[in-house]
């Protein structure tokens, strides 16, 4: 249980284009999903928290107009990197809050990640 | 100073040895403690989840939390080459809430 998928697993795009990454909770409903980015040999950096049906909450220093997050349903959140630049190249990972609320498994379950390369 | 400190390693051990990992933290508000395993170019996988102080065992894995010392540990018994990965500690103030991660420890188990 608590399986999270991401699509695509990797993407290469040209500078200036937009890229959409999907995050799905496959066997549970997730009212809250999180988006992270990870640079090589570094830990995960939280970008934003998204709650179904409401606007995402962005961490300090993350441009909300550049990284658009939509959490339209209880099983799907999307991250769109707009006007991508080479410095946006990174590993993007989503997670979904799963498990029985308040119980011993109430935590974040991670997707496999999406590697974005901007040329 | 980071909220959560974790030695980056690498930690190299022979197959069959016990792997000992730990994190220290500064915020006493953390109540939930997790260990994730991350293989290269993959998402983190939840290994252990502990609430407050105490020990928890699951197969070859044992997690310990000492809130008085703000110190958590993960032990892997009978280590295997397939345990070679980066191990991330994470903690939160409330269940399912925003996680604060350590920097990760890279572990190499040599056959």
CA distance B11 to chain A (A): 14
What pLDDT does A104 receive?
Answer: 67
Q: Which residue of A has its CA nearest to B4?
A: A43
CA B10/CA B35 separation, integer angstroms:
17
Residue A107 — pLDDT band, cuts 50, 70, 90? Answer: confident
Which residue has better confidence, A100 or A15?
A15
Other beta carbons less than 10 A from residue B84's beta carbon: 19
To which residue do tokens 């029985």 refer?
A100
Mean pLDDT of A55-69: 94
Q: Is A110 in contact with B103 (Cβ distance < 8 A)? A: no
Please, what is the Cα angle at A43 between A64 and B71, to 5 degrees?
120
Residues 6+ apart with CB under 8 A from A55: none
Chain A residue closest in CA terms to B34: A107
Q: What is the pLDDT of residue A116?
A: 97
For the four alpha carbons of A43, B36, B97 and B28, in that order, the dihedral sign comes to negative
B49 and A104: CB-CB below 8 Å? yes
Tell me the chain A residues in contact with residue B98 when contact means C-beta distances shorter than 8 Å.
34, 46, 49
Phi, psi (rounded to 5 degrees) for B102: -80, 175
How many other C-beta atoms can be found within 10 angstroms of the C-beta atom of residue B5? 15
Measure B46 CA to nearest chain A CA, in Å: 7
Tell me the pLDDT band of B109, cut-offs 50, 70 and 90: very high
**pLDDT number for residue A2:** 82
Evaluate whether A95 touches A111 at the Cβ level (below 8 Å): yes
Q: What's the gap between Cα B58 and its chain centre?
A: 13
pLDDT score at A98: 81
**Structure tokens belonging to residue B2:** 């980071």
Q: Which residues of A touch B41 (CB under 8 A)?
A: 91, 113, 115
DSSP code string of chain B: --SEEE----EEEETTSPEEEEEEE--TT--EEEEEEE-TTS--EEEEEEESSEEEEETTEEEEEETTTTEEEEEESS--GGG-EEEEEEEESSTTS--EE---EEEEEE-
Residues of B in Cβ contact (< 8 Å) with A49: 98
Per-residue pLDDT, averaged over A2-26, amounts to 95
Q: What does the pLDDT read at residue A4?
A: 94
Q: In the structure encoding, which two tokens stand for residue A101, read together?
A: 């609320």
Which residue is closest to B10 within chain A, CA to CA?
A41
Question: Which pLDDT tens digit goes with each residue over B38-95?
Answer: 999 899 999 999 988 889 999 999 999 999 999 999 999 999 999 999 999 999 998 8
Helix (H, G, I), strand (E, B) or coil at B58: strand
d(CA B35, CA A115) in angstroms, rounded, equals 23
């Amino acid at each position: 249980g608590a399986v999270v998928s991401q699509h695509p697993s990797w993407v290469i795009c040209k500078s200036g284009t937009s890229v959409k990454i999907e995050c799905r909770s496959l066997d549970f409903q997730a009212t809250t999903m999180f988006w992270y980015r990870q640079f090589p040999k570094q830990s995960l950096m939280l970008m934003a928290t998204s709650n179904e049906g409401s606007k995402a909450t962005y961490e300090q220093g993350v441009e909300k107009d550049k990284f658009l997050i939509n959490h339209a349903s209880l099983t799907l959140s999307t991250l769109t990197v707009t006007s991508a630049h080479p410095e946006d190249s990174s590993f993007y990972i989503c997670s979904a809050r799963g498990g029985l609320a308040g119980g011993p498994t109430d935590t974040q379950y991670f997707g496999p990640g999406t590697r974005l390369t901007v040329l | 100073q980071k909220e959560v400190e974790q030695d980056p390693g690498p930690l190299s051990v022979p197959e069959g040895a016990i792997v000992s990992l730990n994190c220290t933290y500064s915020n006493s508000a953390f109540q939930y403690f997790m260990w994730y395993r991350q293989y290269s170019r993959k998402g983190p996988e939840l290994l252990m989840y502990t609430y407050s102080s105490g020990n928890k065992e699951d197969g070859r894995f044992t997690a310990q939390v000492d809130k008085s010392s703000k110190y958590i540990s993960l032990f892997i018994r009978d280590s295997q080459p397939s345990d070679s990965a980066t191990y991330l500690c994470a903690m939160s103030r409330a269940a399912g809430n925003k996680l604060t991660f350590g920097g990760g420890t890279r572990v190499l188990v040599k056959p």
